[in-house]
């Protein structure tokens, strides 16, 4: 991945650091995280009155711990940041490049229940194009952590701006939150739409309207 530096990189870092981490707290190694989560999740199950010796439940604390560390929240580990492949824009294509319907699975940081949706990402090249699968990987990386949708949307946009050294980026995320659908008000069929528009997508009506027409 190209070395990132200067203002764009600092902007991206400050956006990433918006995650409420404990300051000056060295993260545990993955194996230690799994051990701690397994221990405490077992206590949660016991507090709920579950028989953790039952054949169906006895390995659940370890399964949950591994899922949290290696899958659901792998985006908390900066070592999992996806590498990015850029190619020269040999054809001097200067219109919108759009990838629609990128699957998105995240977790609401307020209740730790799923956020399920899709992202649409567009950009206008300034000399280079990005491998399309990398757009998916960027979305997956920022999704795999406790999130709020507004932050997730901005993080994807800022990351793409930084790695491609461009301003013309647009991101739309549409998602259903199970903290609304499966608890509390228990309303299904509701979706939340968030946007992060930059460069031409923010300042020029034509680019913004064309993106909206193509993406949604």
CATH of domain 30-72: 1.10.286.10
The answer to whether domain 30-72 and domain 83-215 are alike in fold is no
List the chain domain ranges: 30-72, 83-215
Report pLDDT digits (tens) over 23-59.
767 778 999 999 999 999 999 999 999 999 999 999 9
Element (H, E) at 174: strand 169-177
Report d(CA 195, CA 153) in Å as an integer: 6
Contact yes or no for 138/15 (Cβ under 8 A): no
Would you call 54 helix, strand, or coil by DSSP? coil
Contact yes or no for 110/166 (Cβ under 8 A): no
Catalytic residues: 108-111, 149, 177, 179
Q: Which two tokens stand for residue 166?
A: 């461009």
Question: What is the value of pTM for the model shown?
Answer: 0.88
pLDDT at 11 over 70: no
Q: Looking at residue 109, what DSSP letter applies? A: T
Would you call 153 helix, strand, or coil by DSSP? helix
- The domain 83-215 is placed in CATH, from the list 3.90.950.10, 3.30.1130.10, 1.10.240.10, 3.40.50.150, at 3.30.1130.10
């Amino acid at each position: 991945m190209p070395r990132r530096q200067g203002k764009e990189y600092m902007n991206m870092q400050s956006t990433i650091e918006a995650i409420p981490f404990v300051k000056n707290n060295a993260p545990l190694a993955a194996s230690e995280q799994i051990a701690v989560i397994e221990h405490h999740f077992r206590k949660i199950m016991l507090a709920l009155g579950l028989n953790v010796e039952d054949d169906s439940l006895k390995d659940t604390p370890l399964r949950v711990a591994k899922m949290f560390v290696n899958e659901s929240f792998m985006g908390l580990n900066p070592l999992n940041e996806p590498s990015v492949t850029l190619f020269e824009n040999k054809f001097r294509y200067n219109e919108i490049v759009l990838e629609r319907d990128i699957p998105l699975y995240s977790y609401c940081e307020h209740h730790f229940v799923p956020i399920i949706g899709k992202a649409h990402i567009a950009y206008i090249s300034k000399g280079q194009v990005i491998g399309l699968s990398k757009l998916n990987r960027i979305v997956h990386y920022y999704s795999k952590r406790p999130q709020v949708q507004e932050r997730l949307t901005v993080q994807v946009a800022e990351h793409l701006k930084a790695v491609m050294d461009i301003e013309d980026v647009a991101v739309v995320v549409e998602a259903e939150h199970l903290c609304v659908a499966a608890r509390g008000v228990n309303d299904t069929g509701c979706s939340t739409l968030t946007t992060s528009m930059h460069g031409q997508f923010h300042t020029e009506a034509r680019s913004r309207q064309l993106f909206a027409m193509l993406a949604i």
